[in-house]
Amino acid sequence: ERFRVVLTNHHIVLDGWSLPILLQEIFAGYLGHRLPAAVPYRRLVEWSADRDLEAAQQAWRDVLAGFDTPTLVA
């Protein structure tokens, strides 16, 4: 009557933002709940194409200003 789920992953494959989403989907499937249809990848591509690349690059330059060498983020 007891179960244990063990899930391991590499941070390149699964990050802290997407882990809860994955777990919700795993448990929904286990409980027999239907998942909504996946959003087409084309929407991400279209959204990405509409972004201001120059503004994004400047934002990252501002955030990383002053870092001259690799830095440990604890």
- pTM higher than the cut 0.85: no
Q: Which of 21, 47, 46, 48 is nearest to 35 (CA)?
A: 21
Alpha-helix runs per DSSP H in 1-74: 19-30, 41-49, 53-64
Return the pLDDT at 16. Answer: 85
Residue 74: pLDDT over 80? no
pLDDT value of residue 11: 85
The whole-chain average pLDDT of the chain stands at: 90
Q: CB-based contacts of 22: which residues, under 8 Å, 6+ apart?
A: 14
Q: What is the pLDDT of residues 26-62, one digit of tens each?
A: 999 989 999 989 899 999 999 999 999 999 999 999 9
pLDDT score, position 60 = 92
